[in-house]
């Protein structure tokens, strides 16, 4: 088997793994009761990492001053499918959008939402948080997190919100292609830490980039997402342990 084919299969496997963790309605886990976050690590051997020492989300505080390099975002309109998997509402992204950091290109796979926010910034919780999930050619993962504050309506979300699937398992082709670049804030300054996926299998080794600047979403937009989810879909804050948090 050629090296290029091995890499392609590796990326496909990782993409499917991320999709399974963040988009599969068949995953037997949830946010409440016996299937809730406190028991994720015990639900199946594949979820063992949920009991790890470098888990997400966290409360971002106690920062170390660092010369963080700018993220080179190369996003274009590409959100072509929206789905409700019972755990979140997710917009799947076509190939062609990426970000570059550490001299590595990470391709945008999808973005999805949590309410209330999973990460906190200096103890503050936000009513809504978006995660933009990326993978490089070797399958390494990077997540850009964006906080929303209640305020004016967010026009960049309008297309996705107008097609938000009401029931778990529903999905549809986007009528208007979503543009992740328009969702991001004007300032691209960020906090950085190493963590994990915030849903089973809670895989570690994920690069996290949390935007410092929040954007707005209206009360109606936030409520519409909460109504579709029927419950909070945020994993509780995890211990930071010895991880450095950079700003």
Distance CA 44, CA 210 (A): 30
- The pLDDT assigned to 69 comes to 97
Identify whether 239 is part of a domain: no
CATH value at residue 107? 3.10.200.10
Cα 138 to Cα 109: distance, rounded to the nearest angstrom: 14
Answering whether pTM is above 0.85, one says yes
Q: What is the largest CA-CA distance in the chain?
A: 54
**Block residue for tokens 């109504």:** 227
Q: Which of 87, 114, 120, 134 is catalytic?
A: 87
The answer to whether 87 is a known catalytic residue is: yes
Question: Does residue 246 lie within any of the structural domains?
Answer: no
| pLDDT string in tens for the chain (247-residue length) | 444 433 333 444 344 445 444 443 345 899 999 999 999 999 999 999 999 999 999 999 999 999 999 999 999 999 999 999 999 999 999 999 999 999 999 999 999 999 999 999 999 999 999 999 999 999 999 999 999 999 999 999 999 999 999 999 999 999 999 999 999 999 999 999 999 999 999 999 999 999 999 999 999 999 999 999 999 999 999 999 999 999 9
DSSP 156: G
Residue 109 belongs to a domain: yes
Give the range of the structural domain holding residue 172, as residue numbers without chain letter.
3-229
The verdict on residue 44 lying in a domain is: yes
Helix (H, G, I), strand (E, B) or coil at 47: helix
- Determine the Cα angle at 18 with ends 17 and 21, to 5°: 85
Quick check: 236 and 119 in contact, CB under 8 A?
no
Strand stretches in 116-189, DSSP E: 120-121, 128-135, 141-150, 171-178
């Amino acid at each position: 088997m050629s090296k290029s084919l091995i890499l392609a299969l590796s990326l496909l496997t990782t993409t499917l793994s991320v999709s399974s963790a963040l988009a599969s309605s068949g995953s037997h886990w949830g946010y409440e009761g016996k299937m809730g976050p406190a028991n994720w690590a015990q639900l199946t051997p594949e979820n063992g990492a949920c009991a790890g020492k470098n888990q997400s989300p966290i409360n971002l505080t106690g920062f170390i001053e660092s010369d963080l390099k700018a993220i080179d975002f190369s996003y274009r309109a590409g959100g072509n499918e929206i789905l409700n998997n019972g755990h979140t509402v997710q917009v799947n992204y076509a190939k062609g959008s990426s970000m570059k950091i550490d001299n590595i290109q990470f391709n945008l796979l999808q973005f999805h939402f949590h309410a209330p926010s999973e990460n906190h910034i200096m103890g503050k919780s936000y009513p809504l948080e978006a995660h933009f999930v990326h993978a490089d050619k070797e399958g390494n993962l990077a997540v850009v997190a964006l906080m929303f504050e209640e305020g004016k309506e967010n026009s960049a979300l309008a297309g996705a919100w107008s097609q938000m699937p009401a029931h778990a398992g529903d999905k549809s082709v986007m009528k208007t292609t979503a543009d992740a670049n328009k969702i991001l804030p004007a300032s691209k300054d960020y906090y950085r830490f190493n963590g994990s996926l915030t849903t089973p299998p809670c895989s570690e080794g994920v690069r996290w980039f949390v935007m410092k600047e929040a954007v707005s979403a209206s009360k109606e937009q936030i409520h519409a997402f909460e109504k579709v989810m029927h419950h909070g879909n945020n994993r509780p804050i995890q211990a930071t342990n010895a991880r450095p948090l950079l700003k």
